[in-house]
Chains A and B, each alone.
Chain A
């Protein structure tokens, strides 16, 4: 996975929940369809606006609600390269990490405006706002989280670390 992600900011508010990110009526459809409808509850044009690598920026508590991993999957498939928010709901945070979608907690997320050009350095947690000429620091990722993200998600992490023939004892 690239440790530097460059893209345009798409800015949303607080408490963007999983029903807004990934409306329940589409859950029976394919992941491609879910991606086309990503964020539809808050922005019907989201999927059309996002270019690969763009960065979703939100306020407090991004992703509360359902355990549906299809929420971060839909965002990733829609092209989102990383998400920056003040903080994330717990299950969404884990799910995003597990599918290899970087999520950064940044207290200064409010300083980023819709359309700003951003560069996110996952290694250092530095977010550079090229448009505004500012930089912000995201909370450092914990060691288990960084290990999983560096591998590209939980599945490659498990495969890489333990091989395909996983033995429970190896995990202890």
Chain B
């Protein structure tokens, strides 16, 4: 019997011909990513000294300060300072700060390599699966083990296959597709498993759009979210001078624990209602819900096409007077391109506040925290109680176009009405 791409990547990392779901293996890590929030400062710095004070391979370690940058408080500033100094002390040359959320920076810097195993101290490390890289989130103690040994124990996950046939309609996006998928299986539907996305609706998407899907695999509990790397991934990597890696694809006779089939053409914009990511409805069922803040950004939906689509909705229109629209590009390079192509100007003219590329508002650390009773629509990945500020605030999740449309009306609304060619 064949293997899924998840099984092949783990087999390769474990130096094995084949692995089967349920097996425990020790695997060699190709890339270990730490952030400022849960990286060196938590457990790692205190204990690494006692464990030989060594890093197994400095070239394979990346540190990205994104959550607290730019700092809003002295303690945040001290965490950034600590992380920066730690990277220097331990000779980690691949330290990035101020460039944006780690998962986007990892992709742009060429760490999302097909066929490799990446672990990160952030749950959305699943994002790298858009490149056929097995990315998964781990805790700080686990990262300490990886830093000193280069290895991690993994239970080989079962793979669930999600086939999206057909084409998405105008005004419907990768975000809607992944929210609909999570609705189908629930927030724990893929716990301990890998999610693999396939079908012509997936192959039609750009790599950037695919990253939205794999980013949110963890919102269904998945260990990884994978998409078969194709010529678009190869072209992405070639354009940034990254190595092509070893694309590992699922065999035709691979065994999946479950298979789901969807028709992309039937999908309409989706909204996740407060306070669960799987509480997903068609946008029409959420229409009219009043919002006070609209957030466009994050490792989920802050890429160029996301900003451009929001700008298309907002061009020549104004943000509702009782709404704050906050925009944070997912990286400095996206920010630059959005400036060059007039996107930032369009958004700003409509009334948006443009923020630094950062994780800040997504989890209520800085740059756009919600007050008690406030309601937001956000292009991010979580709408949990207390996620973006006060625990009595409420968060709706949607696509960048849905965020922009709600910003105009001050209420959740179907974005497609603003996208009709006139």
Is A150 interfacial (CB 8 A cutoff)? no
Is A27 interfacial (CB 8 A cutoff)? yes
Pair A24/B386 contact, Cβ less than 8 Å: yes
Cβ < 8 Å to A, chain B residues 221-252:
221-223
Q: Which residue of A lies closest to B384 (CB)?
A: A19
Pair B385/A159 contact, Cβ less than 8 Å: no
Give the segment of A5-13, A65-73, A110-118, A123-131 that binds chain B: A65-73
Residues of A near B47 (CB, < 8 A) are 155
Given the known interface contacts A69-B42, A158-B148, A166-B52, the answer about A28 and B364 at a Cβ–Cβ threshold of 8 Å is: no
Partner of B191, one of A24, A65, A87, A165: A87
Interface string of B313-336 (1 = CB under 8 A from A): 000000000000000000000000
Pair B139/A98 contact, Cβ less than 8 Å: yes
Given the known interface contacts A19-B385, A69-B141, the answer about A164 and B50 at a Cβ–Cβ threshold of 8 Å is: yes
Is A36 interfacial (CB 8 A cutoff)? no
How far, in Å, is A9 (CB) from chain B's closest CB?
22
Is A89 interfacial (CB 8 A cutoff)? yes
Interface string of B185-201 (1 = CB under 8 A from A): 00110011000000000
Of A24, A87, A144, A166, which is in contact with the most chain B CB atoms at under 10 Å from its CB?
Answer: A24
Residues of A near B276 (CB, < 8 A) are 15
Partner of B26, one of A25, A64, A158, A172: A172
Q: Which residue of B lies closest to A72 (CB)?
A: B139
Pair A67/B122 contact, Cβ less than 8 Å: yes
Question: How many interface contacts (CB-CB < 8 Å) are there between A and B?
Answer: 141
Give the segment of B149-157, B167-175, B287-295, B339-347 that binds chain A: B149-157
Is B177 interfacial (CB 8 A cutoff)? no
Q: Which residue of B lies closest to A162 (CB)?
A: B149
Partner of A91, one of B37, B56, B123, B363: B123
Is B165 interfacial (CB 8 A cutoff)? no
Given the known interface contacts A15-B187, A66-B123, A143-B24, the answer about A94 and B75 at a Cβ–Cβ threshold of 8 Å is: no
Pair A70/B52 contact, Cβ less than 8 Å: no
Is B387 interfacial (CB 8 A cutoff)? yes
Pair A142/B155 contact, Cβ less than 8 Å: yes
How far, in Å, is A100 (CB) from chain B's closest CB?
9
Residues of A near B382 (CB, < 8 A) are 19, 65
Pair B140/A69 contact, Cβ less than 8 Å: yes
Pair A23/B50 contact, Cβ less than 8 Å: no
Partner of B38, one of A20, A68, A168: A68
Partner of B387, one of A24, A87, A159: A24
Is A61 interfacial (CB 8 A cutoff)? yes
Residues of A near B151 (CB, < 8 A) are 168, 171-172
Given the known interface contacts A69-B43, A171-B26, the answer about A41 and B141 at a Cβ–Cβ threshold of 8 Å is: no
Pair B149/A61 contact, Cβ less than 8 Å: no
Pair A20/B386 contact, Cβ less than 8 Å: yes
Pair B364/A24 contact, Cβ less than 8 Å: yes
Is A132 interfacial (CB 8 A cutoff)? no
Pair A25/B365 contact, Cβ less than 8 Å: yes
Pair A67/B153 contact, Cβ less than 8 Å: no
Partner of B221, one of A68, A90, A158: A90
Chain A contacts to B: CB under 8 angstroms: 15, 17, 19-20, 23-25, 27-29, 40-42, 60-61, 64-70, 87, 89-91, 94-95, 98-99, 142-144, 153-155, 158-159, 164-166, 168, 171-172
User: Can you show 21 pairs from A to B with CB atoms below 8 A apart?
Assistant: A17-B384, A19-B363, A24-B364, A28-B68, A28-B75, A28-B365, A61-B191, A67-B123, A69-B140, A90-B221, A94-B139, A99-B141, A142-B24, A143-B24, A144-B24, A153-B141, A155-B43, A155-B47, A155-B51, A158-B51, A168-B150
Known: A41-B391, A68-B139, A154-B144. 10 other contacts (CB 8 A): A15-B187, A20-B385, A25-B389, A28-B75, A41-B385, A65-B123, A69-B141, A98-B145, A168-B151, A171-B151
Chain B contacts to A: CB under 8 angstroms: 24, 26, 37-38, 42-43, 47, 50-52, 54, 56, 68, 73, 75-76, 79, 120-123, 125, 137-142, 144-145, 148-151, 153, 155, 187-188, 191-192, 219, 221-223, 276, 363-365, 369, 382, 384-387, 389, 391
